[in-house]
């Protein structure tokens, strides 16, 4: 197969969208937090927690949608922790976020080991299945790419539109954007800076956990240690790439998914004489280059990372 022919196959684009799905959840979550002025570096750990909690809930019989709910609540819990530490207490968002990542990851592994002490090979669940929509799923090219994905991919795409609508078209979104730019403006209008920021962090963290849950409940059917593998960090970079816009966030996630799908196929083409690590590196290197090209023009939310305290004008 020729290298450029890869780009024309439906399996390549289907894979790109599949790989992008957890990133879409994660980047939307990180975007909501940062729009309100709080960087959430807990994302990597919240992915792991979401992956574990969602999977475990399904394994214990909660059903797939129940599992997603459990994952979201788990993410919201760690988000609340981060929010309490960084918003009313005003601690360093970097330190708190990294702490949350370490904490959430360890707790997830610990819970997994404690809940299933005797298993040697990871137990499996029945994950979300590819959709089978009459006519649409059978269309050439478009069918496999769009209509044979799982419900979670469609949930992610719907959330892009929802997050955009809320941020740009509702009073709540306006208040969130304002609190990330100038908390004094929000306070002067009698709105609660703390409630808005904490709410945004909790909601954003719930979305991040759904990204993690996709890994165990759609992409795979089991939980492994180290399965998040830096996807959370990629989301933090993608938010900057996206200039804090949901539409561009989708684009960035798809771009990364395409890079990743491409490198897998490149491995089979020329893997005989190039070490596989080089291919694994490609999406990250390309992401860094894309970030460098885009991020210099990025307009950060002005109050990002800046704690705000009531009564200190």
Applying CB under 8 A, the residues found at the interface with another protein are 169-172, 174-175, 177-178, 180-182, 184-191, 299, 301-302, 311, 313
Smallest distance from another protein to CB 52, Å: 33
Name the residue among 299, 249, 258 with its Cα closest to residue 30. Answer: 249
Q: How many helices (H) and strands (E) does the chain have?
A: 13, 0
User: Between 180 and 283, whose beta carbon lies closer to another protein?
Assistant: 180
Question: At 89, is the secondary structure helix, strand, or coil?
Answer: coil
User: Between 12 and 164, whose beta carbon lies closer to another protein?
Assistant: 164
Long-range own/partner contacts, residues 158-166 (CB < 8 A, 24 or more apart): 159/24, 159/25, 159/28, 159/207, 160/24, 160/28, 160/246, 160/247, 160/249, 160/250, 161/246, 163/28, 163/31, 163/32, 163/246, 164/245, 164/246, 164/247
Name the residue among 310, 76, 124 with its Cα closest to residue 224. Answer: 124
User: Between 67 and 204, whose beta carbon lies closer to another protein?
Assistant: 204
Smallest distance from another protein to CB 252, Å: 20
Smallest distance from another protein to CB 182, Å: 5
Smallest distance from another protein to CB 189, Å: 3
- Say how far residue 219 (Cα) sits from the centre of its chain: 14
Give CA–CA dist 264/243, Å, rounded.
Answer: 28
- Say how far residue 96 (Cα) sits from the centre of its chain: 19
User: Between 124 and 302, whose beta carbon lies closer to another protein?
Assistant: 302
- Residue 91 in tokens: 């601690």
User: Between 157 and 174, whose beta carbon lies closer to another protein?
Assistant: 174
User: Between 186 and 242, whose beta carbon lies closer to another protein?
Assistant: 186
Smallest distance from another protein to CB 200, Å: 12
- Residue 147 in tokens: 């209509």
User: Between 279 and 308, whose beta carbon lies closer to another protein?
Assistant: 308
Q: Is the dihedral of CA 281, 93, 210, 138 positive or negative?
A: negative
Smallest distance from another protein to CB 153, Å: 25
Smallest distance from another protein to CB 247, Å: 17
């Amino acid at each position: 197969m020729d290298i450029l022919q890869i780009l024309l196959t439906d399996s390549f684009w289907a894979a790109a969208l599949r790989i992008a799905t957890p990133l879409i959840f994660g980047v939307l979550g990180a975007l909501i937090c940062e729009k309100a002025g709080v960087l959430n570096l807990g994302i990597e750990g919240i992915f792991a927690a979401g992956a574990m909690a969602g999977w475990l809930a399904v394994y214990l019989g909660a059903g797939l949608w129940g599992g997603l709910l459990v994952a979201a609540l788990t993410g919201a819990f760690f988000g609340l922790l981060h929010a309490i530490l960084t918003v009313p207490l005003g601690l360093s968002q970097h330190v708190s976020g990294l702490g949350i990542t370490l904490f959430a990851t360890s707790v997830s592994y610990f819970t997994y080991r404690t809940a299933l002490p005797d298993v040697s090979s990871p137990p499996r669940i029945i994950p979300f299945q590819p959709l089978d929509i009459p006519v649409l799923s059978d269309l050439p090219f478009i069918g496999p790419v769009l209509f044979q994905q799982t419900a979670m991919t469609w949930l992610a795409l719907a959330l892009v539109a929802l997050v955009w609508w809320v941020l740009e078209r509702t009073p709540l979104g306006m208040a969130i954007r304002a609190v990330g730019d100038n908390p004094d403006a929000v306070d002067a209008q009698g709105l609660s800076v703390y409630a808005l920021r904490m709410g945004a962090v909790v909601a954003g963290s719930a979305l991040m956990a759904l990204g993690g849950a996709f890994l165990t409940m759609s992409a795979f059917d089991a939980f492994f240690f180290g399965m998040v593998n830096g996807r959370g960090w990629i989301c933090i970079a993608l938010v900057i790439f996206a200039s804090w816009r949901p539409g561009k966030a989708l684009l960035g996630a798809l771009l990364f998914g395409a890079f990743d799908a491409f490198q897998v196929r490149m491995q089979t083409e020329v893997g005989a004489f190039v070490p596989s690590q080089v291919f694994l590196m490609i999406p990250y290197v390309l992401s860094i280059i894309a970030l460098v090209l885009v991020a210099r023009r990025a307009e950060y939310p002005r109050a990002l990372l800046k704690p705000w305290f009531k009564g200190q004008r």
